[in-house]
Amino acid sequence: GCRAASKKNTDEYIDKVLEETRPKIPEPAFLPERVGRFKLFNGTLENLSNLKRVGPALVRCTEPSVSFLVPVGLKNLTGRYFWEMDTGLPVFRGFIDMFIGKVEADVLYTRQRTPDESGTKKAVIEKFQINKLEGVKIDFDGLGPINRIASRLSNFAARFFNRGLSRALEGPVRNAINKELRNVKKYEKYYF
């Protein structure tokens, strides 16, 4: 089990890790491209570095490890894709701007209590799962007289942005946190 003191320090510990991680999160994060008749390319996502804990972390201690389930959130994310749609003739081009008011996710993080064969205590994020997206707005530019298909393309683009957001959180954000968590000694005063 966990000592009472370690449970008390959990949120402080998580906040410190996130504070150290924020400046290391790449801005902007690059989003995946889509090829085909409706292409999305040069996608970026900004404001990932405003990642914060949005509720109390749950902690579970076992003999070999300590696990944390941490609710995190991001606010006011902005994204942009350039798009191109080949309809034969003409080819339409423009950009899609997306605003996401709020994202909430759960992060499951495990830290070994005992060193492995190499003498290090491993600390790693096992899961980063998006639970909530709120305030999503999409602006399409470049369709001209055929704006009636914009809503269909907006829905498609929103799904693609969501996948891109998941990848950005799973990739650059997760990597930045994992890198910071390797500095296990830096956080010993909070724990263990």
- pTM of the predicted protein model: 0.76
For residue 127, give the H/E element and its range: strand 123-141
- The CA distance from 50 to 23, in Å, is 9
Provide the pLDDT for residue 1. 61
What domains appear along the chain, each with residue ranges and CATH number?
A: 7-28+51-76+102-185 (3.15.10.50)
Q: How many CB atoms lie within 10 A of CB 69?
A: 14
Q: What would the two tokens of residue 19 be? A: 């504070």
110 bridge partner residues: 67, 124
pLDDT along the chain (192 residues), means of 10: 65 88 90 83 92 90 85 92 81 85 90 75 81 84 61 69 76 82 68 53
- The CA distance from 142 to 147, in Å, is 9
DSSP state of 118: T
Provide the pLDDT for residue 3. 65
Q: What would the two tokens of residue 61 be? A: 């201690």
Provide the pLDDT for residue 77. 92
